[in-house]
Amino acid sequence: MARYEELMGKVAVITGAGRRAGLGEAMAKRLAAEGAKVVITDLGQAQGELLPANAIGGSDEMQQIVDDIHAAGGEAAAFVCNVLNPEDVKAAVDFAITTFGGLDIWVNNAGVGYLMKPILEMEPAEWDTVLNVNLRGTFYGIKYAAAQMVAQGRGGRIINIGSQASKSAFAHASAYTTSKHGMVGLTRVAAQELGEHAINVNTICPNHVTTGLGAWQNSHFSQVTGKGDDKYMQDMKARIPLGRPGLQEDVAKACVFLCSDEAAYITGESMNVSGGEEYH
């Protein structure tokens, strides 16, 4: 399956990658299939009511994904990391170094996409949770991954996982949309600052993908719009020129491309992976 030989032996860390059928799992497995050594991070256990067990990657799930990669002949390890804690993020960098010998790729995938309410109903703690995980966590990832890449002196790739909401606004998703718009600005600044160190920084902006989180979003917004599940999904497909929602593999393909030599002259971009639904 490997297509990019230059990724052989590279060391990649992916945050928020411990959930089955998630974008993080798909990217981890594809990078491993390309020969990269992958560190899968996630919270490992619930962190209060706003970060419940059904919304995070548990330790057992993380290890299962690692085991899958090993069974397929790849190299991977799991590390519990709360992206809201800068010491945890620095520790994830150190773990990659001690386990696999360095750091070449960092994917900021951890995010909260399930606290969706109208502005008038959004609680400050909910707003803060979304902004902190999606944006502050990405800032920490860029900061500490880039510091290691600069110290190594061989460049690197930082990939931020945005959303169609990085480009377009969605009712009942004020915090999520704001955080993903902010990620675009952060990506552009980081690309400007880190280019002299041969570090490329880009964002991937998928449209809807029916992960575990995506399935919840389908159910939630079908109720909010009053359409019902079938009508909601029919309307979604109708507005996508390629006629289907995104797949986890679509994002994984974009990720390995941006990590490859084929994308060596691409930085500061927020690349739509939306089947033509998003043009901005």
pLDDT digits (tens, 9 = 90+) for 179-219: 999 999 999 999 999 999 999 999 999 998 976 666 667 67
Using the structure block, give the residue that is written with the tokens 């990506």: 187
* Model pLDDT for residues 53-111, shown as the tens digit of each residue: 999 999 999 999 999 999 999 999 999 999 999 999 999 999 999 999 999 999 999 99
* Model pLDDT for residues 224-247, shown as the tens digit of each residue: 777 877 887 888 889 999 999 999
**Among the listed residues 62, 63, 45, the one whose alpha carbon sits nearest the alpha carbon of residue 54:** 45
Mean pLDDT value across the chain: 94
pLDDT at 2 over 80: no
Instruction: Report the percent of the chain where pLDDT is more than 70.
Output: 96
- Long-range contacts for 267-270 (Cβ within 8 Å, ≥24 apart)? 267/191, 267/195, 267/200, 267/201, 267/202, 268/187, 268/188, 268/191, 268/192, 268/201, 268/202, 269/187, 269/202, 269/203, 270/162, 270/166, 270/167, 270/183, 270/184, 270/187, 270/202, 270/203, 270/204, 270/205
CA distance 207 to 245: 7
pTM (predicted TM-score): 0.94
Q: Return the active site residues.
A: 176, 180
* Model pLDDT for residues 120-147, shown as the tens digit of each residue: 999 999 999 999 999 999 999 999 999 9
Q: Where are the domains of the chain?
A: 5-209+247-265, 210-245
Instruction: Give CA 137 to chain center in angstroms.
Output: 11
CATH number belonging to domain 5-209+247-265: 3.40.50.720
pLDDT of residue 1: 60
| Element housing 26 (H / E) | helix 23-33
